[in-house]
Amino acid sequence: MPWNPEIYNHFKDIRYQPFYDLSHLISAEHLKNCIDVGCGTGEQTAILANKFEQAQFLGIDSSKEMLEKSKEFDLSNLHFKQQTIEEFADSDTKWDLIFSNAALQWSDDHQKLFPKLISKLNKKGQFAVQMPCQKDNILNVLLRDLVKEKPYSDFLNGFYSDSPLLTIDNYAKIMFDEGLNDLNISVRIYPIYGNNEIDFYRFISGSALIPYMERLTTEQQELFTTEYQSRIKKYFTTFPAIYPFKRILLYGKKV
């Protein structure tokens, strides 16, 4: 099951608020070449390119389906490329801004990845990252428990997508040790409101659910979806309900 831009953007307003909060931390000073790591459809990259017109922007993403949408954004200072986060981390180019909104949670071993990414910054370069706190958010917890149980663990051949996120203390130490200052590090709650369990299911179906659903047959997907929605309904008990979705925001500037 490839990434589906329509499903992902169903909750566009909710997904965009963290992006705006992160982008407000960025200074226009010393910005010439900038990269958006895991740019998705490219719409947010285009917003950045419009905001910082003096800079050149490159958006990279591993999803061909997402990048197809990027053709809609025709700006002279904006380009796109299909590339994985890991390929970027091993590249040689230096940047004045490394920006990533809700993408790095898909890459493993942040203890090694983040120093690599920060090393790609020029002097006075800026590092701005936002990621969902998957280990704490209840929809992820319910999903994690479900995929470890039979028959679903058998359907998935034991596959389990563990969150690579570190503690906020770990990120602060990595950023400081790698020469970033003017640090701005926080965990924020972005509430999601649902009228029923289907609303919450739709939200997670556009992201964290994808690695599991793509490994299941159609019949298995139906069984899995029914059980997962049942557990969501059981947890929230009454509707309308609030889902306090936690995200971590990281910002720093290279000395």
Determine the pLDDT at residue 135: 84
Give the chain's domain count.
Answer: 2
Same-domain status, 149 and 78: no
CATH number of domain containing 207 = 1.10.150
What three-state secondary structure class fits 67?
A: helix
Do residues 127 and 140 share a domain? no
58 and 36 share one domain? yes
Predicted confidence at residue 134, as pLDDT, reads 82
pLDDT digit string, tens, across residues 157-182: 999 988 999 999 999 999 999 999 99
Give the 3-state secondary structure of residue 48.
helix
pLDDT of residue 8: 47
Q: What is the pTM of this model?
A: 0.91
pLDDT in tens, 238-250: 999 999 999 999 9
What pLDDT does residue 12 have? 64
- The domain in which residue 226 lies consists of 134-161+196-239
169-176 CB contacts, 8 Å cutoff, 24+ apart: 170/110, 170/111, 171/110, 171/114, 171/248, 171/250, 174/110, 174/111, 174/114, 174/115, 174/118, 175/114, 175/118, 175/127, 175/250, 175/252
Q: Let me know whether 57 and 45 are in one domain.
A: yes
- Residue 247, Cα to own-chain centre: how many angstroms? 10
Residue 255 shares a structural domain with residue 150: no
**Maximum Cα–Cα distance for the chain, whole Å?**
55
CATH code at 37? 3.40.50.150
